[in-house]
Amino acid sequence: MMSENEKHRHIHQEKQPGLMSDGRAGREKLLDASEISLVLDTYDDIFSDFDPRPYDHRSLSQDFLTEAKHAARDKISGLELKFLIPKALQDPGKEELIELRLREHFEKHAHMIRQEITSGRLRGIVLVIIGMFITVAAAALGYFFKQNVAAEIAVVVLEPAGWFTIWNGLDMSVFATRGKGVDLSFYEKMQDAEITFEGY
């Protein structure tokens, strides 16, 4: 059984014609015709070595996901994910299970990330509203209780707390979710990709 690092050396991605030269004309022709092509030694290269479950439930290999993300980064739409597998090892039944597992994985993670982004933005908006309420309350105390020491102390505490809460909410709703957008873009591309297997 190959380790994850060994898998990384066996999985190759082709983004443009002519970038891969392995001495096999047939394989190069297939690679050149596909937007994203991954060369496999066995179907197991797609999956984690540490998960013994059947293909339709097995966890995907991090090496495979890393290569797929790198290959799909500059693609816009209409992706074709093509796996090149030795002809002697091809099994249509396994390929059908693997395709279903891949689609399930991509759709599940796209949905999860959408939920995380929506939840993060809602929490950020709530914090902004709370921060504005605190800031207004501080301003009201300072206006109506100008000679009250306790009110003055409350204003000193509430004003920075209100602004901090507002900025924290803005950061959560705008900037903190921006990084997740990259992952969401990848999973949305992959869930709609055409998945094929071809022998070499």
Q: What pLDDT does residue 17 have?
A: 37
The residue with greater pLDDT, 69 or 59, is 59
The amino acid at 3: S
Q: What pLDDT does residue 149 have?
A: 87
User: Average pLDDT, whole number, for the chain?
Assistant: 83
Residue 28 above 70 pLDDT? no
Give bridge partners of residue 84 from the DSSP assignment: 39, 198
Q: What pLDDT does residue 36 have?
A: 83
User: CB count, 10 Å around CB of 20?
Assistant: 17
Residue 60 above 50 pLDDT? yes
Average the pLDDT over each of 3-17, 31-45, 115-129 and give the range with the smallest value: 3-17
Contact indicator for 197, 85 with CB cutoff of 8 Å: yes
Domain boundaries, the chain: 4-109+193-199, 112-182
The model's confidence at residue 145, banded by pLDDT at 50, 70 and 90, is confident
Question: What's the pLDDT tens digit per position in 85-110?
Answer: 999 999 999 999 999 999 999 999 99
- Please state the rounded mean pLDDT for residues 60-70: 91
- Strand pairing report for 36-39 and 80-85: parallel
Q: What pLDDT does residue 30 have?
A: 47
